[in-house]
Amino acid sequence: MNTYKQIQAEILAASNILITAHKSADGDSVGASLGLLHFIEKLGKKALICHPDQAPDFLDFLELSAITTMDQEPEKVRAAFQEADLIFCLDYNATDRVGKGMQLLLESATCTKIMIDHHLDPQDFATITVSDTTVSSTAELIVELIEQSGNSRLLDEEIGTPLYLGILTDTGSFRFNSVKPRTHEVLAKLLAAGVKHHLIHELLNDTNTASRLRLQGFAMSQKMEILAENAVAIISLTKEELEKYQYQKGDTDSLANLALSIKGMKAAMVFSERDGIIKISFRSKGKENPVNGLAAAHFDGGGHANASGGMSALTMPETLSKINRLVPEYFPAL
């Protein structure tokens, strides 16, 4: 029995299935969760999605009401973990990625756990592990689950729409080098299943608010520092600055890629002061300029080679001083 057939067998045998994903929800974690949910339902079973926090507003066109969050309904999430006899761990490969509250629940659960993920260096905590760092996204792996378990006939627009969204967002609209020929084969199967890709692009991209655009304009014009010798762009936004522009979750998500689009840039970093800490987004270009090592070694983070996240408990000035010391080490002068 292949791994995907084994996963199907676990689904069919389970009575209380729980789908989890990492903290700071994004398109892939949300899309993979919803796609898997609908697949499970089409197998004749029921499942509950529990995430640590709410999805960003730009994903509102998806069926977000199907997701219960730890930050909004902690008692419901605790009960779901206690009742679960099968837990899916999607788009993360270390238990601390679900936040402290859910981490305790996850680690204390004794039921079968299935990890489906594409990040580097997975922890050995799951009963069944599907870890493939060569694929574009966890959403793509959910398509593989559906196909390789012999259920291609079940793939339809309901399942495919969130999965297409997950692949779209985690590949930077198919621009990252994680996109392989197989990725496009998967996308073709989703379109053939009825996914309306043009509507997804429209709903995803045409959702700006005036305050978001003003925040992005302020960040790019007033808060971006370019370290020309190292080809690195740094943007920092304090709590007060975010509040001035009525910050909503997701408003700063595109800033690192915007800065990285400057001709000749090796890397771009965005530091934003939220929830009492400095949250950091790292982006870079090329195999020779990875950022996951920097994020892991110095900012309690990690992720993909060219797209990682991290955090700092220091003040904003202290954090910026720290990154300015580290940049020459990781991105030597041209």
CATH number of the domain to which 9 belongs: 3.90.1640.10
Q: Is the pLDDT of residue 59 over 70?
A: yes
Structure tokens at 311: 């955090």
Q: Which of 205, 231, 258 is the last residue of a domain?
A: 205
Q: Do residues 56 and 164 both lie within one domain?
A: yes
Query: Cβ contacts of residue 125 below 8 Å, gap of 6+?
Result: 89, 94, 95, 107, 113, 115
Q: Do residues 23 and 147 both lie within one domain?
A: yes
Q: Name the residue with higher pLDDT: 128 or 251.
A: 128
Which phi and psi (to 5°) does residue 127 adopt? -70, -45
Q: Which of 205, 238, 271 is the last residue of a domain?
A: 205
Q: What is the pTM of this model?
A: 0.85
- Residue 249 pLDDT grade (very low, low, confident, very high; cuts 50, 70, 90): confident
What does the pLDDT read at residue 1? 64
Q: Do residues 323 and 197 both lie within one domain?
A: no
The Cα–Cα gap between 213 and 208 comes to 7
Q: Do residues 182 and 221 both lie within one domain?
A: no
Q: Is the pLDDT of residue 157 over 80?
A: yes
Residue type, 259: A
| Number of separate domains in the chain | 2
Q: Do residues 228 and 196 both lie within one domain?
A: no
Q: Which of 182, 205, 228 is the last residue of a domain?
A: 205
Residue-wise pLDDT for 64-80, tens only, equals 999 999 999 999 999 99
Q: Do residues 72 and 139 both lie within one domain?
A: yes
Q: Is the pLDDT of residue 304 over 70?
A: yes
Q: Name the residue with higher pLDDT: 304 or 311.
A: 311
Cα atoms found within 13 Å of the Cα of residue 20, Cβ hemisphere only: 33
Q: What is the average per-residue pLDDT within 176-195?
A: 95
Q: Do residues 233 and 145 both lie within one domain?
A: no
Percentage of residues in the chain having pLDDT higher than 90 = 88
What does the pLDDT read at residue 121? 86
Q: What is the average per-residue pLDDT within 205-220?
A: 92
Q: Is the pLDDT of residue 149 over 70?
A: yes
Output the domain CATH number for residue 242: 3.10.310.30
Percentage of residues in the chain having pLDDT higher than 70 = 100
- Residue 267 pLDDT grade (very low, low, confident, very high; cuts 50, 70, 90): very high
- Residue 206 pLDDT grade (very low, low, confident, very high; cuts 50, 70, 90): confident
- Can you give the residue range of the structural domain that contains 145? 3-205
